[in-house]
Amino acid sequence: MNTAPTFRGGIHLPDHKRETHHPIETCTLPDQLVLPLSQHAGTPAQPCVAVGDRVAKGQCVATAEGEVSAPVHASTSGSVVAIEPRPHPSGRALPAFVIEPDGEERWATDLTPLEPRQWSPENLKQHIRDAGIVGMGGGTFPTHVKLTLMEQHSCDTLIINGCECEPWLSGDDRLMVEQGDKVLDGADILRQALGVQRTLIGIEANKPEAIALLRHASRKFDAMEVICVPSTYPQGAEKQLIDVLLGRQVPSGGHPANIGVVVDNVATAAAVSDAVRYGRPLVERVVTVAGPALATPKNLWVRLGTPLRTLVDQCGGSREEIGKIIVGGPMMGQSQLNLDTPVVKGTTGLLLFGSQDVSLREAGPCIRCGRCIAVCPLHLLPATITAYAERGRFDGALTYGALECMECGCCTYVCPAARPLVQMLRYAKAEIITRQKECLT
């Protein structure tokens, strides 16, 4: 299979994809669903139903607040029994709806199905906004905002990201294999909403079945091409995918729109098709449940708001004492305190590790080997930035590009001194942003 050239830096990880490449099953309905008002990048949504109200599946329960925000919809029919702080994947307790299902799965009819070719780009963008669609690869940036940003730039290419480069995760792969037509239909609707001619679909070489199926199915679309890209982590990062597919570099501090590109994930494209063709807002997603401590790895269709515990139960529970719970992939995912956290729009995976899988090695001093620099896909100097951050010299960390860091974790993975580089980079970024805000107020 012809494969596009790779980007500079990055690492090759054991991908564990074979362990999880199973057909998608439907996750059971839990006793309670917990739907946070904040499931997207931007301002939390504002409740538009009250405690005691009965809601239908797909009914809007919280509206988008401000420009960068997204509405939240009930993921089943039932009653709202509370709106209160509940555990959130970010680690904090954040306001959320608690819905007790009635088991009827009654759909709301708020969102009218559209025939995409009969509607203007503005209508399609509004529909995508009303359906609460956000980047489902984990970024959770509201999709309609990405589409609107392009109005200020000259855009020529839509890229659909089917890389799924984190180990274990295979939900996007299964979605492409099982619902490839829907992914391509959503991609074509996004292309229409953007008003561009060309769509490129980048898929990592370790997904040969998805590549073959989508290549075949894409023949009926104009100017749509499926491109096999190398399986190198983090190939799924926007900047690296654009570099490999188009040879263009996103400028420092800029975004893909600056170079005429929009990147959307394959699951986002499928959600767009559901919203436009069938009037179905974003209320469920595919989650890969895996890890060495899990009994039976699976891919599950999960209603948003389902507690992680329900997913683990459906996978036969844990087969040993759990040492670490991660939501997302092992490189960029977030550790969880327990399994009470709900699945949200950006939940790509749930990984369980045993105590012996968790490294407790103490960090040593930097030996100046340069490995972190060699693997950084953004050509940063992780050892230098973190040395400044450790000394409270955030001006120096900023000068060396701390805010550019995408927190991919490559530097931490290769560091022989076990230095917590990505953790220090996150800390430095948070400090710099806080100080910048304080200067503005």
Contacts to ligand SF4 by CB under 6 A: 366-372, 375-376, 378, 380, 382-383, 405-411, 414-417, 419, 421-422, 425
Q: Nearer Cβ to ligand SF4, position 200 or 376? A: 376
Backbone angles phi, psi at 254, to 5 degrees: -100, -170
Taking the C-alpha atoms of residue 124 and residue 113, their distance in angstroms, rounded to an integer, is 11
Give least dist CB 30 to ligand SF4, A: 35
Q: Which is nearer to ligand SF4, 96 or 421 (CB)?
A: 421
| CA dist., res. 232 & res. 234, Å (int) | 6
**Complex with ligand SF4: residue 124 or 372, whichever CB lies closer:** 372
Task: Give the separation between CA 414 and CA 430, rounded to whole angstroms.
Answer: 24
**Sign of dihedral through CA atoms 74, 76, 81, 84?**
negative
What is the separation, in whole angstroms, between the first and last Cα of the chain?
Answer: 55
Residue 261, both tokens? 């590109």
Closest separation in Å from C-beta 329 to ligand SF4: 14
Of the pair 88, 239, the CB lying nearest ligand SF4 is at 239
Choose between 105 and 404: whose C-beta lies nearer to ligand SF4: 404
Q: How far apart are CA 399 and CA 388, in angstroms?
A: 10
Q: Between residues 219 and 368, which has the closer beta carbon with respect to ligand SF4?
A: 368
Residue 11 CB, nearest approach to ligand SF4 (Å): 9
Q: Choose between 223 and 433: whose C-beta lies nearer to ligand SF4.
A: 433
> From the CB of 388, what's the least distance to ligand SF4, in Å?
13
At closest approach, how far in Å is the CB of 412 from ligand SF4?
A: 7
The two structure tokens encoding residue 267: 């699951």
Peptide bond into 234 cis (omega under 30): yes
- The arrangement of strands across the sheet holding 157-162 comes to 224-229, 198-204, 157-162, 261-265
> In the bound complex, what is the minimum distance in angstroms from residue 57's beta carbon to ligand SF4?
39
Q: How far is the CB of 106 from ligand SF4 (least distance, A)?
A: 45
- For residues 303 and 75, the answer to whether their CB atoms sit within 8 Å is yes
Q: Specify whether the CB–CB gap between 250 and 258 falls below 8 A.
A: yes
Q: How many whole angstroms separate alpha carbon 398 and alpha carbon 394?
A: 6
Nearer to ligand SF4, 79 or 423 (CB): 423
CA–CA gap between residue 68 and residue 142 (Å, rounded): 7
Any residues with CB less than 8 A from the CB of 277 and at least 6 apart, and which?
113, 114, 116, 185
CB of 234 to ligand SF4, least distance (A): 8
The answer to whether 259 and 157 are in contact (CB under 8 A) is no
